[in-house]
Chain A
Amino acid sequence: MAASEVTMRVWRGDAKGGAFTEYRVQSQEGMVVLDVIHAIQATQAGDLAVRWNCKAGKCGSCSAEINGKPRLLCMTRMNTFTPGETITVAPMKTFPLIRDLATDVSFNYEKAKTIPAFRPGPKEPDGTRRMFQEDVERGQEFRKCIECFLCQDVCHVIRDHEDNKPAFAGPRFFMRLAELEMHPLDTHDRKELARVKAGLGFCNITKCCTEVCPEHIHITDNAIIPLKERIVTEYYDPVVWLLRKIGVR
């Protein structure tokens, strides 16, 4: 495949307003959308704002919406589009716009602060911590998360409802809660937090978050649903409830 000309519609603007601007650029063999955005910067719009760091799908900086789908710019190959198709690139919709493709994702950093940290129990008598591969694997799946916040972007609970944001942590942080819950050494109980402050109840398991995750983490099946189940058993199972009341664990 030789170089070919492509038409890109890129959102330009800031919190005050903006519009899509069309650019025609050369796309070379193997290029990803981020390469094309960089080509626009280098030759036509030096001030086109976009976040990126690694260009290898590892840092989760370059999140945007490509033809309406939340995706990483650096992991979307140009050859996945039909030749001649105009490609639209817009910023993530759920977060306030800073400029062009860069949004203010501080919502996520604030939510991260609300989750109590890992707190391990005592060590083994020989001073080590023993965990087996099978036991760490569940947590390891969730720790593949590159914090691209695409799952947060797509979740309808906050995408279309700004007012839900204070009471809803979002799929990325449900997963963090689940990860800590399932950590073989952790001693905290975060179920109450998940239920009340993090707003797990808002989630109606549409699985949109899982679909957009570039790390292919099974956010709903492996994190959210088990977390919901644990809470249900704990809070609505009368026997468990009674035992908790009288202090038996």
Chain B
Amino acid sequence: MAADVKYQTHEYDVLVIGAGGAGLRAAIEASAQGARTALVCKSLLGKAHTVMAEGGMAAAMGNVWKEDNWQVHFRDTMRGGKMLNNWRMAQLHAQESPDRVLELEEWGALFDRTKAGLISQRDFGGHRYARLAHIGDRTGLELIRTLQQHAVHKGLEVHMECNIQRLVKDGNRVSGAVGYFRPTGQLVVFKTKAVVLATGGIGKSWKFTSNSWECTGDGIRLALDAGAELIDMECHQFHPTGMVWPPSVRGILVTEGVRGDGGTLTNSEGKRFMFNYIPDFFKAETADNEKEADAWYEDKKNRRTPDLLPRDEVARAINSEVKAGRGTPHGGVYLDIASRRPADYIRKRLPSMYHQFKELADVDITKEPMEVGPTCHYMNGGIRVDADSTATCVPGLFAAGEVAGGLHGANRLGGNSLSDLVVFGRRAGLYAAQYVKSLSGKLTVDAGQVEAGVQGILRPVQGKGNENPYAVHADLQECMQSLVGIIRTEGELKKALEEIAVFKQRLGRVTVEGGRAFNPAWHLTLDLLAMLAVSEAVTRAALERKESRGGHTRDDYPKADPKWGKVNVVLRRKNDEISVSPEPLLEMPDDLKKLVEEKQ
């Protein structure tokens, strides 16, 4: 080994990779269970993508609608996910999220209040009752700051701006991780008995995305390399409402809270077009006229407005309106709250949307409609885990938060992610700590695997080619946007796979100049390894599922097919190849089946 590849070493029981809501909650729990725990993250603490979450976190607390309970939340989640969900995760999530919200309040979170002084809850797509605990439209910031302050207070060890590139195993068990510190380029090896992956989403492979730069899917790459499985990767979520103008901000999210608080979607002819896109599956519970839709906000005996159908439905509808020539000048549709709610109310309920449009687009949302269109948003699938323990099939490897799959099935309901983070983040920390206690014998960190990890990290700074990582990234985003977007066909997906193979070769030719201290070209090159793994996984899964369901729409198979409704598409890496196989869903117990099938 060259003299400059010396590395730091640290030793822990549980290493949590990722400091978004899921990672923070996992680390707090593991540490509370007595495990020596450390948290690593690619950015500074408090900057993870979770900070951007806006609308709220779903929990059937019944503060606004007494009729609400976990059974209804469970039903909404399963139906929103087109029944592909892991039912046990959906059950645990619905049962435990109220306690997790209250726990945040115990730790200092200041949620908006009801008149009775309890935590207020707002309407969101696919939820039968107003269910989202929120703080204006900056719920993610409150969640992350509360957990961060709690963790700091508990003395949790945090390694910031540290990027993990490889997991190390002893036999089939996890025993360590290799990475580097971004500011200095210093290499680091963690010796650890368990790892919790909480690395978040994958949106940076697409051109128009609501995701922050960190969402490169590192956890997906780490999991595949370590032998874990992925499910439902084809069901990627495109959020219906991202900004479309000006070009440089295209993709930035416009919270569903705008529609939850009364905003409606209209086309260039001024029509509320969502009434034309109500699928049979949701007919019984969706209003078919404007009067009933508007009355629903105040009285839940009315059926829900179609503006708040699940996200996959709304995103496809907007796509169709624009294609049919009824779009706005910049290729979106209108989202109008200005003509429906008083200016004061809008500024109070949606302060950061007001600010965002004013500063970035010169639009006053209390006076004019917004222009919006679909944007790449959320990984519905992810690493396959056991519902109760969040364990993957690799001993010692756990996963929680957006990087884990199962809870959301083919489509996530808004607000179900923030609650997912704390429900399963806590479980990951708990079960990782338990696993550590049950371990016997010594774990070794294999020098050969460490060396391979180190060489992988250093390759771009020692390379000889002349490829530019920024160009590879831009071309990958173009490819995924145009070939693996909302609407897919076999021909385009195959073409995408060919292009991804070429990007892999190009990435091997990248040479980075400027040394190892805080060098973004180097960071991007390494992040691209994950983005390419993610892109390939999504594309292969999308080729496999020959039907349309939730976030996955095939132009060549436009209908849902009951046969495909019984399986998850599972991915594994074998000898450097990603293999794909449909595997049966977990069988749901009869009492839960009944809940889901009930009409209203």
Contact = CB atoms under 8 A, between A and B. Distances in A.
Interface of A: 14, 28-32, 35, 41-43, 46-61, 75, 77, 98-100, 102, 104-105, 109, 112-113, 116-118, 120, 128-133, 136, 139-140, 143-147, 180, 183, 186
A133 B522 CA distance: 48
A61 B514 CA distance: 22
Contacts of B51: 53-54, 58-59, 146
B359 A143 contact: no
Contacts of B152: 112-113
Given A49-B518, A49-B519, A98-B183, A130 B513 contact: no
Contact of A147 (B46, B214, B248): B46
Given A30-B246, A100-B518, A143 B468 contact: no
A51 B214 CA distance: 11
Given A77-B360, A118-B108, A143-B142, A58 B52 contact: yes
A139 B110 contact: yes
A47 B150 contact: no
Contacts of A102: 183, 518
Nearest to A42: B470
B44 A51 contact: yes
Nearest to B160: A109
Contacts of B111: 136
17 contacts: A32-B249, A35-B248, A42-B470, A47-B520, A53-B47, A55-B213, A57-B352, A57-B359, A58-B352, A109-B44, A129-B105, A132-B113, A136-B110, A136-B111, A136-B112, A143-B145, A183-B108
Interface of B: 43-49, 51-52, 105-108, 110-113, 116-118, 135-136, 138, 141-142, 145, 149-150, 152-153, 160, 183, 212-214, 245-249, 252-253, 352, 355-356, 359-361, 468-471, 474, 512-515, 517-522
Given A42-B471, A47-B521, A112-B152, A53 B43 contact: yes
- Best-surrounded residue of A32, A35, A42 (most CB of chain B within 10 A): A42
A9 B247 CA distance: 24
Q: Is the interface of A mostly helix, strand, loop or mixed?
A: loop
Contacts of B183: 98-99, 102, 104
B103 to A, nearest CB: 11
B520 A42 contact: no
A55 B253 CA distance: 11
Contact of B135 (A29, A46, A143): A143
A24 B355 CA distance: 30
A144 B138 contact: yes
Contact of A30 (B356, B361, B517): B361
Contacts of A99: 183, 517-518
Contact of B520 (A50, A60, A98, A120): A50
A213 B508 CA distance: 43
Contacts of A30: 245-249, 360-361
Contact of B518 (A98, A120, A132): A98
Contact of A75 (B106, B359, B474, B515): B359
A231 to B, nearest CB: 22
A61 B47 contact: yes
Nearest to A101: B518
A47 B512 contact: yes
A59 B521 contact: no
Given A53-B47, A143-B142, A14 B359 contact: no
A139 B470 CA distance: 42
